[in-house]
Homo-oligomer: A and B are copies of this chain.
Amino acid sequence: MRITGKQLINGQWLAGEAGQYQAVNPATGEKIAPLLSYASKAQVTAAVDAAEAAAPLYANTSAAERAGFLQRCAEEVMALGDELIERVMQETGYPRGRVEGERGRICHQLRLFASSIRTGDYLDIRIDTALPERQPLPRPDIRFMNQPLGPVVVFGASNFPLAFSVAGGDTAAALAAGCPVLVKGHNSHPGSCELVAQALDNAVKACGLPAGVFSLLMGSGREIGSELVVAPAVKAVGFTGSLAGGMALFKLANNRPEPIPVFAEMGSVNPVVFLPQALQQSGAALAQGYVASLTLGCGQFCVNPGVAVAIAGPELDSFMQSAAEALAKTPAGVMLNDNIADAYNKGVAELASQPGVSIAGSGAAVTAEQGFYTQAQLFKVAATTFLANPHLQEEVFGHTSVVVVCDDNDQLLQVVSSLKGQLTGTIHCTEPELAGQSKLVQLLRSKVGRLVINNFPTGVEVCDAMMHGGPFPAATDARFTSVGTASIARFIRPICFQNYPQALLPQELQDSNPLQISRLVNGERTVAAVETAVASAS
């Protein structure tokens, strides 16, 4: 049995000092062996101290060294083999294909960051050379680059046991940036957390990095997480989860003597607008795509389409009928844990009880007598009712969605205008239809992080161009993505060097540009050495 139930603190696996527990199989409700442990406050302090000690050493590693480390992390995760896949399946109820897909995703992500940081683009190098003859005052030589913020705390999400967990996007971005990472693992998949942490620990040791570069701590309730966020050495927090959880951390971090940024991705209802021509041309296919998107993984995605918006008419009636038929074929699904299942059932009951809300379709009823199974549900409501009742905009985490039926395009714009900040906004349309909807596009651009045309929002690509985030309450800070290579910007800050001796500058800033980075030199983007750039500009 490879799972030990221990914490990873300063490179050592230590039994937690604050009690024991077991993981639960959501498909059966039964406990899974072996016994696991919770970290104590003193153990949190020890882990933070180790991260603080590691921070300047790790910050001094080259991008090439960190790239090698990230690649090694991916190799070590793959080396866990089927034991990891099976443990994740046991702890989450997810099918093998989904779990293998997530593993592929985190390994791709680690490798993508490895290649991305080698380019040096994220350093945003800017060089303004001295102008000693300038009047009335000379200009000194000034050189700008990003550097790591310091130790980062990462909170994994329940719904992505690999992709938004121990070695997920937040961890990969922080490690790529040069920041030590302290992970507070999620209790919904603690054994999976430990296995992945073992892989990262192996990589830290194989690459000869300081032990404090990576730690894993488990805790019940919020105490361990709070201790991590208020520790003075911690400089940023990454979180994926609920609005309540994210806002609790945000307030805690802002009330520290030294406030620190919290990047909380808190989900949203991800509106999907179906325009009439699209419904007319391919209503049945869109209904099937919509139901597939909203029931994928029991709807346990932050980009699950929780609200659809369309204009009343015969094409919408056919769409609704097709959607109801597709939904009826959807089996009851197992949720990640009892809390999520309870919250889903409560949320659905609340939706059903709101005046003017009617059931437009249901998945298969729950027949299992054990485990955390729930039934998919589709609701329908008139736009006037939706506009008058802000509760209908609240996310119900799981496989349910509300179709908002509008009288006309003006009312559709009103509905979109009433929405809060969102991770995504989607329009199903023909191209001429989209061309005529500049107001709709403008409204969605002001509210979302990702604008999707004729796709569904589920499926968040890990790439350079991904923006996974959005205006509040989708995230605490709309200016940052939590997926893709741009997410590294959360964990760096600029510093500039004035009149610094050339030989002692970091390589990235030296005249000769030994790393061949794209730099902004006296206002011109170039990979040329500084002398050349200045000469050719004059």
Chain A residues within CB distance 8 Å of chain B: 55-56, 60, 97, 101, 115-116, 119, 121, 124, 126-128, 136-137, 139-140, 142-144, 147, 149-150, 250-251, 254, 258-259, 261, 421, 431, 434-435, 442, 445-446, 448-455, 459, 461, 463-467, 469, 471-473, 476-481, 484, 486, 489, 492-501, 503-504, 518, 520, 523, 525
A142-B465, A143-B465 known; 20 other A-B pairs, CB under 8 Å?
A56-B446, A121-B525, A128-B461, A128-B463, A137-B459, A144-B464, A144-B466, A254-B254, A259-B476, A431-B501, A431-B504, A434-B504, A435-B503, A450-B495, A451-B496, A451-B498, A451-B500, A452-B498, A453-B501, A465-B520
State A513–B387 Cα separation when bound (angstroms): 41
**Contact sample, A vs B, 13 pairs, CB 8 Å cutoff:** A60-B442, A115-B523, A124-B486, A128-B461, A128-B464, A128-B465, A144-B464, A144-B486, A455-B498, A469-B494, A479-B494, A481-B494, A518-B518
Chain B residue at minimum C-beta to C-beta distance from A443: B56
Q: Would you give the shortest CB distance from A476 to chain B, in whole angstroms?
A: 7
Specify which chain B residues have a CB less than 8 angstroms from the CB of A453 in the assembled complex. 497-501
Contacting residues, chain B, for A250 (C-beta < 8 A):
254, 259
Supposing A501-B434, A504-B435 touch, asked if A495 and B461 sit within 8 A by C-beta, the answer is no
Chain B residues near A500 (CB, 8 Å)? Answer: 451, 453
Report which of B121, B136, B150, B465 forms a contact with A127, defined as CB distance below 8 A. Answer: B465
A56 to chain B, nearest CB (A): 5
Contact at B455–A499, with CB atoms within 8 Å?
A: yes
Which B residues are CB-close (under 8 A) to A115? 523
Cβ A261 vs Cβ B479 within 8 A: yes
CB-CB < 8 A to A259: which residues of B? 250, 472, 476
Q: How far is the CA of A347 from the CA of B121 in the complex (A)?
A: 45
Kindly state the separation between the CA atoms of A453 and B498 in the bound complex, as whole angstroms: 6
On chain B, the residues within 8 Å of A60 by CB distance are: 442
Given A140-B455, A259-B250, A500-B453, the answer on whether A494 and B518 have CB atoms closer than 8 Å is: no
Q: B486, A126: Cβ atoms under 8 Å?
A: yes
**Chain B residue contacts of A473, Cβ below 8 A:** 258
Closest to A451 in B: B497
| B472, B520, B523: the one within 8 Å of A258 (CB) | B472
Most buried by B among A261, A465, A466, A473: A465
Whether the pair A463, B142 counts as a contact (CB closer than 8 A) is yes
CB A169 to nearest CB in B, in angstroms, measures 15
